[in-house]
Structure 1
Amino acid sequence: MAKIISISNQKGGVGKTTTTGAIAAGYKSQGYRVLCVDLDPQSNLSFSSGAETEDCPTIYEILKGEAKTTFSIQKLPSYDVISSNILLSGIELEFTQTGREFLLKEQLSVVKDKYDYIFIDTPPALSILTVNAFTASDYIIIPMLADIFSLQGIAQLSETIERVKKYCNPNLKVEGIVLTKFNPRTILSREIKGTAELIAQQLDTSIFKSTIRSSVSIMEAQTNQQDIFNYSPKNPATMDYMDLVKELIERGI
């Protein structure tokens, strides 16, 4: 039975999609059965993994009940994917019925026994899509930059997490905060890390020991629709992400 993990932060540009793809590919390289769900209407994860987004059923059709989850999975070299496209952006207005928070959970229940891990790339907004992701998930991983705006975003994110835990998913756990594009040599980064540790305590979680350095190779890999472990295995950021995967496995995730 798969463990379901959402990668989330309402602030854009924090490396959320990159982290989702990297962790998923890292787990796949360790021999696990991995599925990624692109729940972002921008469909960046779908593009970077080489998934089809137009002439195929996407998560939009699945949530509307117009396509079966099992037949919407694309099997790719790095990991399996349920893709997204821009139609997903209108779902807030389309889905107004009672129980709409549970749509994703119901659809993923059909394939949970086929995978060890399901990773959900969430949109950079606290919308019904994010609530669906949290309701379906066992864990949340929060990527953040070492800047003050990311700290503000996490404070707002925590309110959504608490509402979901209260009304939809009491067993949801924030597994940790991972610092991305991190430079430990700057004073600001070290100061922000200290503040982030305080916020992590409020979320009853912690900062991952593994931090992720900036790298042009990551963007190159995404542009070439390859995972970073195949594209640039010896790159420092690639090794950082593998350290993060190993840390998660050591935690029992």
Structure 2
Amino acid sequence: MGKVISISNQKGGVGKTTTTGAIAAGFKLKGFKVLCVDLDSQSNLSFSAGAETEDCPTIYEVLKEEVKTSFSIQRTESFDIIASNILLSGIELEFTQTGREFLLKEALSSVKDKYDYIFIDTPPALSILTVNAFTASDYIIIPMLSDIFSLQGIAQLSETIKRVKTYCNPNLKIEGILLTKFNKRTILSKEIKGTAELIATELGTSLYKSTIRASVAVMEAQTSQQNIHQYSPKNGATEDYLSFVNELIKRGI
């Protein structure tokens, strides 16, 4: 039975999609069977993986129960993926029925035993899609930048997580907080890291030992529709993400 992990932060630009793609590809490199679910209507993960988003079944059709989950899975060089498109942006108004929080969990139940890991790239907003992701997940990984605004975003995110644990998924766990675009030489980064450690403790989780450096190669890889491990295996950020994958494995994830 595959472990389901949401990568989430309501603040945009923190490396959420990049982190999802990098660790998913990293786990696949280690021989694991990996599926990604693009739950963001911007479809950035789908594009960067080279997946089709038009004229094919997406997570939108899956959630509307118009197509079986297995029929929506695309195979790419980086990992298997259920893509998204702009239609997903209207889902909040379309899904008003009782039990709408469990749609993704029910959809993934038919394919969980085929994968070791299922990674969900969540939208940068606390919507019904985010709630669906958390309800379906075993763990949440929170990427954040080394700035005060990211810290504020985590506080708001924690409230949503508490509600989901109370009403939908009592076994949900915040696996940890990951610092992205991190420069260990700046005083601000060191200060933010210290504050993040305190917040992690309050949330009953921890700050990962691994941190991710900023790199232009990350954006170049996404533009060329390759994962970072293919595009620039010796890049600093690539090494950081591989270190992070190893850390997750050592933590029992």
Q: TM class by shorter-chain length?
A: over 0.9
Trace 1:147-226 onto structure 2 (pairs within 5 A).
147-226=147-226
Q: Superposition RMSD on alpha carbons, in Å?
A: 0.3
* Deviation for aligned residue 1:42: 0.4
Q: Distance in 1 between matches of 2:210 and 2:116?
A: 23
Query: What is the letter of the counterpart of residue 182 of structure 2?
Result: F
Query: What is the letter of the counterpart of residue 194 of structure 1?
Result: G
The secondary structure found in structure 1 opposite 2:193 is helix
* Deviation for aligned residue 1:55: 1.1
Equivalence for 1:115: 115
Q: Distance in 1 between matches of 2:64 and 2:239?
A: 39
Trace 1:13-24 onto structure 2 (pairs within 5 A).
13-24=13-24
Give ranges in structure 1 of 5+ residues lacking alignment: none
Query: What is the letter of the counterpart of residue 97 of structure 1?
Result: Q
The secondary structure found in structure 2 opposite 1:210 is strand
Q: Distance in 1 between matches of 2:225 and 2:207?
A: 29
Which whole-Å deviations, capped at 9, do the CAs of 1:4-40 have from their partners, x for residues lacking one? 0000000000000000000000000000000000000
* Deviation for aligned residue 1:202: 1.2
Equivalence for 1:68: 68
* Deviation for aligned residue 1:215: 0.3
Which whole-Å deviations, capped at 9, do the CAs of 1:48-85 have from their partners, x for residues lacking one? 00000001000000000111100100011110000000
The secondary structure found in structure 1 opposite 2:37 is strand
Give ranges in structure 2 of 5+ residues lacking alignment: none
Equivalence for 1:143: 143
TM superposition score normalised by structure 2 = 1.00
Which whole-Å deviations, capped at 9, do the CAs of 1:204-249 have from their partners, x for residues lacking one? 0000000000000000000000001111000000000000000000
User: What is the aligned residue count?
Assistant: 253
Q: Distance in 1 between matches of 2:55 and 2:187?
A: 49
Equivalence for 1:80: 80
Q: Distance in 2 between matches of 1:155 and 1:171?
A: 20
Which whole-Å deviations, capped at 9, do the CAs of 1:169-220 have from their partners, x for residues lacking one? 0000000000000001000000011111111011100000000000000000
Q: Distance in 2 between matches of 1:47 and 1:204?
A: 35
Q: Percent identity?
A: 81
Q: Distance in 2 between matches of 1:198 and 1:165?
A: 22
